[in-house]
Amino acid sequence: MITWLQNATGKHHRMIFGFLLVVIVVSFVFYGFAGRGALRGSGSYMYQGVDLNDPAVRSRFRDATFFAQMTGQRMDNNGLVQRVAELSLADSLGIPAPSDVEIRRIAREMTTAPDGKSADGLNKFLEFAAKQLNVSDLETRARFETYIKDTWRIQKAVSTLAGSGHATASQIKRILERERAKWTVDVATFASAGFKADVKVDEAKVKEAFTANIENYRLPAQVAVTAVTITPSVADTAPVSDDEIINMGYNQAEKFKFETGKVKEQALAKRAELEKLVRADRAITNLAGQISDELAEKFAIDTAKADSKELAAWIKAKNAKVTVIPSFEITNPPSVAKVPAEALRVAGDLTEKEWRTEVYRSEEGATFVLLNKRTADRLPTYDEAKTKAVENWKKSQFNRLLAEEVAKVGKAIQADVAAGKTFTDSAKAHKLALTSPAAFSIYSVPEGLNGVNENTGLLIEAAGVGKLTSAIRIANGDYVFIRPAKKDLTEDKTGAEESRLFVQRVSQRNAYFTGIGLVQDVVPAPVQAK
């Protein structure tokens, strides 16, 4: 289903040329802004008038990440602080929320079926999202709407600062030429697996490296919690509509092996079986709402406590299933049978002040999580982290020696070529594997040549025909030396409309990068409270 959704959005927002940075959700990079990992302890951490440790705020960010991934949108991975900064900018500029009509339009565009014809893409998306979040359809709609409002306001705020952008004729010509150019290259591969190095542990240096990088060893905060699940005690007897049967049919299409394009008819033919599922689903949804209301009324967060006798008695009276979950790292919640994964993820944000989660739909009923104990994050002693510290030091030493050997081989090849030896002969002499992939654009480098830390296409362009690139580490850990052998320019067959859209996208890209600088001037970086 997720793939289906990503394909759906890709149809409408695909770039004409892959290198252009054109996005629906305009999220900018805030250099120096901390992500979620910088929020330490359980106290308040105020930024732009927002408590970044507030569970509601963190939940809103998780929703943004979730919906961005679900709809195939771009969202820069700079964390909660960035999101708050972007919204703060929108607030300061007085950017209003989009209208209900605009929200519906955006929602439909994000969830349109691949053929662009299906009208129920949004409904199917929301039903699937509700299952993933383990919340009601109504709550899922509300959270998706909040995500759309926030990202729309961010986009408008940044575009207000950056303007529409502009592209010069020379820039367009240069970019088109780079896009059309096809490169033929020779590749020599240094296989890292064949490199052997005898790394002897020097504990004094390990300790030194550990001390210098101790933040990398910080032990995350931990929580011990109790999951409470209440099952429906009253059967759902209300009539079931055809629409409910059909929607459930889409949700259960894989289980019932319904054929694509025939789900509606086949679901109605299985009405009796699907009706049971609809009634069970409705019973859980209604129960979750009821339990949520009762908790809010009888055990308000700011007045009650997780260990109160009154709450314990209420849970017992509900014949609830109680699951005690031992302490776990908040960044790595466990998988517990019949306990919603989202509830355990949110449990990591629980504090003495915010001692329970919201109520989630679960496999058996309505589930919420109570905090038993929270342990703050801390820096470990050397003895606690010794095994990992030694492993990391050995790895760093191996990588250093490997990089030195690769650099040595690269210099030798350069010297060989300068002395009149061919690139092929030199590579063979150093026992490097040789390949010559089909011609490609620097913006569509063959998958096996994609650099881990370097842009392979730009390095090829910078080297030029007949020259040798520096060593490039690729995804599998090997290193490659690339010699561009030929550069061909293909005929420009771009049509008038395609050319217009191309210019538009270059202009938008220019506006995007203008916005990065402007936003950083307007919104200050956060300062850790003392």
Band the pLDDT of 212: cuts 50, 70, 90: very high
3-state secondary structure 299-331: CCCCCCCCCCHHHHHHHHHCCCEEEEEEEEECC
The more confident residue out of 39 and 43 is 43
Contacts of 217 (CB under 8 A, 6+ apart): 210, 379, 380, 385, 388, 389
- Mean pLDDT throughout 363-391? 94
Instruction: Report the range of poorest mean pLDDT among 194-208, 397-411, 441-455.
Output: 441-455
Q: Which pLDDT score is estimated for 7?
A: 34
Q: Is it the case that residue 30 has pLDDT exceeding 70?
A: no
Helices (H), 74-197: 80-92, 100-110, 121-133, 137-162, 169-180
Q: Report d(CA 330, CA 384) in Å as an integer.
A: 19
Burial class (CB in 10 A: 0-12, 13-18, 19+), 152: buried
Closest listed residue to residue 509, CA positions, set 106, 164, 89, 30 = 164
Q: How confident is the model at residue 401 (pLDDT cuts 50, 70, 90)?
A: very high
pLDDT of residue 191 exceeding 60, the answer is: yes
Q: Kind and range of the H or E element at 253? A: helix 253-256
pLDDT-derived band at 502, boundaries 50, 70, 90: low
- Residue 175's contacts (CB-CB under 8 Å, 6 or more residues apart) are 19, 506
Q: Which of 60-69, 203-212, 307-316, 508-517 has the lowest mean pLDDT?
A: 508-517
| Per-residue model confidence (pLDDT) at position 33 | 33
**136-165 per-position pLDDT tens digit:** 778 888 899 999 999 899 888 877 776 666
User: Is 70 exceeded by the pLDDT of residue 365?
Assistant: yes
pLDDT value for 39: 44
Distance CA 308, CA 327 (A): 20
Over residues 204-226, the mean pLDDT reads 94
Kindly report the average pLDDT of the chain as a whole number: 81
- Half-sphere exposure of residue 242, counting CA atoms within 13 Å on the CB side? 6
pLDDT at 40: 42
The helix, strand and coil proportions of the chain, stated in percent and rounded to the nearest 5, come to 50, 10, 35
Which of 54-58, 150-154, 176-180, 324-328 holds the top average pLDDT? 324-328
Q: Which two tokens stand for residue 196?
A: 């052997």
Reported as a pLDDT band with limits 50, 70 and 90, residue 453 is confident
CA 32/CA 36 separation, integer angstroms = 13
Cα(330)–Cα(52) distance, integer angstroms: 16
pLDDT at 377 exceeding the cut of 80: yes
Least trusted range by pLDDT, from 117-121, 220-224, 281-285: 117-121
What number is the average pLDDT over the span 362-372? 94
Q: Is the pLDDT of residue 29 over 80?
A: no
- Distance, CA of 72 to CA of 50 (rounded, Å): 28
Q: Give the per-residue pLDDT at 121.
A: 77
- Whether 499 and 169 have beta carbons less than 8 Å apart is answered as no
State percent of the chain over pLDDT 90.
Answer: 45
pLDDT > 70: what percent of the chain? 78
Name the token pair of 470. Answer: 């520096």
pLDDT at 519: 61
Secondary structure of residue 487 in the 3-state scheme? strand
Which pTM was predicted?
A: 0.56
Structure tokens at 218: 């910080």
286-324 confidence digits (pLDDT tens): 999 999 999 999 999 888 999 999 999 999 999 999 999
| Whether the predicted pLDDT of 20 surpasses 70 | no
Per-residue confidence at 131, pLDDT binned at 50, 70, 90?
A: confident
pLDDT at 480: 95
